[in-house]
Structure 1
Amino acid sequence: MMKKLAPYVGEHRLYAILTPLMIIGEVALELMIPLMMAGIVDFGIQGDGGIAYTVRMGVLMILMSIVALIFGALGGKFAAMAGMGFAKNLREGLFDKVQEFSFGNVDKFTTASLVTRLTTDVTNTQNAFMMILRMAIRAPIMLIGATIMAIAINPQLSLIFLIAIPVLSITLYLIGSKAHPRFLELLERYDKLNAKVQDFIVNIRVVKAFVREKHEEDKFVESAESVRKAQVNAEKLIILNMPIMQFTIFSSIIAILWFGGNMVIDGTFYIGQLSSFIMYIMQVLISLMLISMIFIMVIISRASVTRIVEVLDEKPLLDDEDGNQELELQDGSIVFEDVDFSYNEDPDNLVLKNINLKIYSGETIGIIGGTGSAKTTLVQLIPRLYDVLHGKVAVGGHHVQEYKLETLRDQVAMVLQNNVLFTGTIKENLKWGNQHATDQEVEEAAQAAQAHQFIQSFPNGYETVLGQGGVNVSGGQKQRLCIARALLKKPKIVILDDSTSAVDTATDTAIRTAFKEKLQDVTTLIIAQRITSVSDADRIIVLDDGKINGFDTHENLLKSNQIYQEIHQSQGKGVNINE
């Protein structure tokens, strides 16, 4: 899996290469210091070296320590730069991948899970990467070097820690094999916690309106407690590592002091050699501790890496690899031929069934039907937000799969049920439709959407800053801003998905009048709950349980379509179907 992430080091690979080089230099110098210490004790103090040798070696040791410190500091700096650069590139890669996802892919992972993967999981992976750059080089080299030096000094005493190494290795393996699935479960519970937090914050006005703070608090506490239990379950294995490590280290040191001390008393071992041997043993055991830390970090990050790679390996349910780069939409005509659709690609659970439609370019089409009749699903197939299960959808005379997605969607403007505005000025939000639009074009679009007047009522007009999600404008104002944004695209097809439900009847009428005047050559599809919003459309689609129940003018549907008659009567339009 790490091979999958390696390319994200990218332009920071030089720092990733320099880090182990600095660490190698640091370790090499540290391995020389105990040997020089033994020389000072055995030759300088107890031997014939005298003060001159002791001072010379002492100064050399200080210089070597300073150089080792510099190497270590540079290694830390380079590791941090490589790690942060790696995390930045990885987040960009994940974000770019999510941008390619279709709605189905996002539904599979959930928004909260994707946020966790872009934040917590990347941070865990970054920390593991930085530790590997430093410790994964330092620990093995120090382990091997210190082991060789210790064996060279006293092979017999070296048997002590040679026994300790397999004990620690077996312990680490057992801990790691059991801990990994527990950390995966922990991250999944983080996803659920983030989902609850996101749900609460987005809907905080509803929560307060219904005085449900205590209910939401209880749900959050329950989720947080679930995370705590999962974390305890995972950590209680990991924390065994340190006491086992310390027990092994201290036991080894006691054994070395006992057997080494006896050798010194017997005259078969020098004090300087014993002190340097102990220092090498400490280096060996410290390197083992570092390896155990790396192992633990890898266990934690492995779960995160698995989740990151799942996103990177996810194949978008929609792709335009076969799309013609040169193909452009010639007009706004729309054709459905024997279309069946299911969100889970289950032919036994169809949302749309045997849809056949022919809409001419420039027509205004109303779409009406009861809740769950698949009105929104129908229009989402036009810009290819989903692919059909069977049949064919053609736009501008060509199958939607023949177009590049960008080409197709640039010519289809949608105003969804959930009107989304971004933090920024009103003008910046409107220019999402066309970033190159002039101020005059922005105002014309706003006037057509009946938004210009209320925008001008703000002290800063089009430069008024909107809060996150447009919290400082009303629902009706938000809808009109979203309509203006769509109009700025100057598309060939405009889809309004119940986009005037929050405006009054007069404003709704004014918007439809402006559409007739300014969008004469644009195909307009209007999903609505109110018959008044679609009654003057060229034709109206009546949907019922995913099937077309009627497709005709307002007058003809009033005469012949029972569902349309019932909707008309329920909205107080009278009972005379022959009017």
Structure 2
Amino acid sequence: MLKILKYLKKSSISVVAIVLLLMVQALCDISLPDYTSKIVNIGIQQGGIENAVPEVIKEDDLKKLMIFIDANKQSQVKDYYHLIKYKDTESDSYKKNIDKYPALKNENLYVLKDIDKDELKDLNELLSKSEMALLTIENNKNQDNKIKESILKSFPIELSVKMKDKSLIEIMEYLPKEKTNAIKKEIMKKIEKMPDSIIEQSAIIYVNKEYKSIGIDMDRLQNKSILKSGTQMIAIAILSMFVTIIVTFLAAKVAAKLGKTLRTDVYEKVMSFSNEEMKKYSTASLITRSTNDIQQIQVMMVMILRFIFYAPMMAVMGIFKVVNTNVSMTWIIGVAVLFIVFLLSILFTFVMPKFKLVQKLVDRLNLVSREIITGIMPIRAFSNQEYEEKRFEEANRNLTKVNIFVNRIMSFMMPSMILVMNLIGILIVYKGTYSIDSGTMQVGDMMAFIQYTMQIIMSFLVIAMMSVMIPRASVSASRICEIIETNPTIKDSLDIKTFNPDKKGVVEFKNVSFKYPDAEEEVLSDISFIANPGETTAFIGSTGSGKSTLVNLIPRFFDATKGQILVDGTDIRDVKQFELREKIGYVPQKGILFTGTIASNLRYGNRNATDDEIKEAADIAQASEFINSKPEGVEFKIAQGGTNVSGGQKQRLSIARAIAKNPEIYIFDDSFSALDLKTDAALRKELKRKTSESTVLIVAQRISTILHAEQIIVLDEGKIIGKGTHEELLKTCEIYKQIALSQLSKEELGNE
């Protein structure tokens, strides 16, 4: 898979953009639970009050708070506030705040100045415990009365009667400093033992009471807080949505570009394959690799770009947030991850070996399907439909069984993961209720903890899914790389030479031998001859004598294992394959046509051929009659594989295609076998006129096709056993004579 990733260099900018955008998306998604917590904790439970620092407080109430603040810190607290006196009705501060704080008409108020986050944090710490102390005294009447009684006993009777109806805080103002500090120390000692969350919540209750006494609209304050957090939450969600859309678009674009590049590279590599490589990789396998395998990689690449960076970010950020929310419940995350790892280990054990098998079975199914479709006529002719159906059914059944097994195991994973998530959610609620009851956690924090946990579990789930899918894509990637990294046995020389114009059209074999890779015996042995321009060189021999193999060496479909093949006086291995093949007009044994029109097929070797040249080629190939019989003429549509024309018509069009190219060298590999004798004779007569300056090489089975060739080469078991004209070979080559007599009578041979 890593080898495939190098193809992403062309899309590096997009990949970097995706990573950066995923960071933005992760930050957005991980921040949403915070806002849920704010809405519940601050907006609903705390009535919109964010901290223990009141924005406005009565002068008398601030004095009470100062009792529980160290003397050296009291001036610092006052510095954070601005005093507005109710009698200063003409001051700007009074006019500015009278509408907001109705209590200003009768009370002096301290209004909070603009302070930064650090100052707000310091002030919150200073005030929260003092507010808790005041609230404790106000709420705990029994303890308050006991302290009052003990204090009043120490007062003179007159003062004791006077202070009887006063509050404990008011009474403490008359006490000596040492006595006040002792009472304060006793109260603060109890507060110090309380959890921070309880202190903060109690301080919030105090601030709430203070705001109500000042006349602040608490419903409006609460709604404002909820709307603020909700609006921010919606904005972040919308931003996350847009980032997700952009990331998905870029990921799809990068994956599509990768797929295009891989298909191009595979196609170009396959085009460079010789027959040896084509035999190594079946056609069905090459098609599967070019389509299904690349599609697997393309889909996987979208998943990688979309989730492989995002999931770890979310997992790390989620764990960080969970630790900050409540450390005591982080073990729940560990339990969830262990369950996921356990489930995945089961999946990997059973599923992973099957992924490699799936692609091989797809190859097999494609191979069987291709063979059945292309061989439908002989299948019907031999009434073997039932046998082929069984072959297809077997291949289809094997693939289906493996796919069903894989899908069953995979379908088990998602419900299992959902079950784990739900059980973890229940466990968090169960443990969270105890924390809420003890005051160490708020409801909003528990809700945020659940969301963070779900995000972490989902991140691990995505990572798990990717770890299951990547090996399958890796199988496809290795199959693609196998094609791309295959070195063709036939390739251009590093020292390119040019053709000799003085020997234009001359084809020469010098002691050429050839054997197929891994074969023990040679197919051709010590072949030597020269084919000159303006002459026809024919090859004849029994089946398997090496005729087609010999002519296939000229365009370098194979390379000779020994000896040299010269074209225009230059070894064909020293020139570019493209330039060599540009000189050749090749007609294979089996006429092959391409989807399109007759005209597009005839122009296949010469895109610039004029209509007159196309017509001339069709005339020479004896194809004009059936072309003209079509209403569309040369624009008649050819079906895939030329299935809508006969074998003879297909062969004549293949011959016309080579003629339209007007090459230096013509190679006809048994290309006249589907023609009747009359058409064969007429075609050869016209062809002789057209190729008067070209070199013609003909592989034939029929003596009548090569009777008038200037040079006939007789092959037997890969060796030349006869060379000469028809008349010469009848006298000197017994095998040629036997072939001739098997096809023509002595009288016909004499007449010829």
User: Do the two structures share a fold, i.e. TM-score over 0.5?
Assistant: yes
Q: CA contact under 8 A between 2:3 and 2:481: conserved in structure 1? A: no
Within-5 A mapping of 1:370-449:
370-449=542-621
Secondary structure of residue in 2 paired with 1:469? helix
Residue type of the partner of 2:508? V
Task: Find the aligned partners of 2:680 and 2:9 in 1 and give their Cα distance.
Answer: 54
Residue type of the partner of 2:690? K
Alignment pair present for 1:352 and 2:524: yes
Task: Find the aligned partners of 1:160 and 1:368 in 2 and give their Cα distance.
Answer: 84
Within-5 A mapping of 1:540-551:
540-551=712-723
Within-5 A mapping of 1:32-431:
32-49=31-48, 50-166=222-338, 168-169=340-341, 172=344, 175-176=347-348, 179-235=351-407, 238-239=410-411, 241-322=413-494, 324=496, 326-327=498-499, 330-346=503-519, 348-431=520-603
1:207 positional shift: 2.7
Q: CA contact under 8 A between 1:196 and 1:220: conserved in structure 2? A: yes
Q: CA contact under 8 A between 1:9 and 1:85: conserved in structure 2? A: no
Alignment pair present for 1:459 and 2:609: no
Q: Which residue of 2 aligns with 1:554?
A: 726
1:143 positional shift: 0.6
- Alpha-carbon spacing, 1:474–1:225, altered in 2? closer, same or farther (3 Å): same
1:139 positional shift: 0.7
Q: Deviations over 1:289-344 (max 9, x none)?
A: 11112122212211111111111111111110425264466422222222221221
1:503 positional shift: 0.9
Residue type of the partner of 2:638? L
- Alpha-carbon spacing, 1:69–1:546, altered in 2? closer, same or farther (3 Å): same
Residue type of the partner of 2:482? E
Q: Deviations over 1:507-539 (max 9, x none)?
A: 111111112211112111111111111111112
Larger mean CA deviation between 399-408 and 30-39 belongs to 30-39
Within-5 A mapping of 1:12-27:
12-27=11-26
Q: CA contact under 8 A between 1:413 and 1:494: conserved in structure 2? A: yes
Larger mean CA deviation between 327-336 and 157-166 belongs to 327-336
Larger mean CA deviation between 496-505 and 37-46 belongs to 37-46
1:576 positional shift: 10
- Alpha-carbon spacing, 1:398–1:357, altered in 2? closer, same or farther (3 Å): same
Q: CA contact under 8 A between 1:172 and 1:295: conserved in structure 2? A: no
Q: Which residue of 2 aligns with 1:30?
A: 29
1:349 positional shift: 2.5
1:239 positional shift: 4.6
Residue type of the partner of 2:17? L
Task: Find the aligned partners of 1:364 and 1:3 in 2 and give their Cα distance.
Answer: 51
Residue type of the partner of 2:373? I
Q: CA contact under 8 A between 2:591 and 2:654: conserved in structure 1? A: yes
Q: CA contact under 8 A between 1:176 and 1:296: conserved in structure 2? A: yes
> How many corresponding residue pairs?
577
1:405 positional shift: 0.2
Task: Find the aligned partners of 1:295 and 1:23 in 2 and give their Cα distance.
Answer: 20
Q: Which residue of 1 aligns with 2:200?
A: none
Q: CA contact under 8 A between 2:597 and 2:636: conserved in structure 1? A: yes
Residue type of the partner of 1:2? L
Q: What TM-score, normalized by structure 1, do the two folds share?
A: 0.94
Q: CA contact under 8 A between 2:493 and 2:574: conserved in structure 1? A: no
- Alpha-carbon spacing, 1:390–1:77, altered in 2? closer, same or farther (3 Å): same
Larger mean CA deviation between 168-177 and 87-96 belongs to 168-177
Secondary structure of residue in 1 paired with 2:745? coil
Larger mean CA deviation between 17-26 and 150-159 belongs to 17-26
Task: Find the aligned partners of 1:93 and 1:422 in 2 and give their Cα distance.
Answer: 22
- Alpha-carbon spacing, 1:457–1:9, altered in 2? closer, same or farther (3 Å): farther
- Alpha-carbon spacing, 1:174–1:319, altered in 2? closer, same or farther (3 Å): farther
Secondary structure of residue in 1 paired with 2:661? coil
Q: CA contact under 8 A between 2:499 and 2:569: conserved in structure 1? A: no
Task: Find the aligned partners of 1:336 and 1:451 in 2 and give their Cα distance.
Answer: 34
1:2 positional shift: 2.9
Q: Deviations over 1:445-504 (max 9, x none)?
A: 111111122212221211111111222221111111111111122211111111111111
Task: Find the aligned partners of 2:13 and 2:495 in 1 and give their Cα distance.
Answer: 39
Residue type of the partner of 2:443? I
Q: Which residue of 1 aligns with 2:7?
A: 7
Secondary structure of residue in 2 paired with 1:62? helix
Q: Deviations over 1:202-234 (max 9, x none)?
A: 222333333333222221111111212333454
Q: What is the RMSD computed on CA atoms of the aligned residues?
A: 2.2
Percent identical residues: 35
Task: Find the aligned partners of 1:496 and 1:290 in 2 and give their Cα distance.
Answer: 60
Task: Find the aligned partners of 1:566 and 1:528 in 2 and give their Cα distance.
Answer: 15
Secondary structure of residue in 1 paired with 2:317? helix
Larger mean CA deviation between 38-47 and 273-282 belongs to 38-47
Residue type of the partner of 1:20? V
Task: Find the aligned partners of 1:171 and 1:327 in 2 and give their Cα distance.
Answer: 68
Q: CA contact under 8 A between 2:505 and 2:665: conserved in structure 1? A: yes
Computing the radius of gyration from Cα coordinates, the structure with the larger value is: 2
Residue type of the partner of 1:520? S
Task: Find the aligned partners of 1:37 and 1:363 in 2 and give their Cα distance.
Answer: 91
- Alpha-carbon spacing, 1:170–1:356, altered in 2? closer, same or farther (3 Å): farther
Task: Find the aligned partners of 2:346 and 2:20 in 1 and give their Cα distance.
Answer: 32
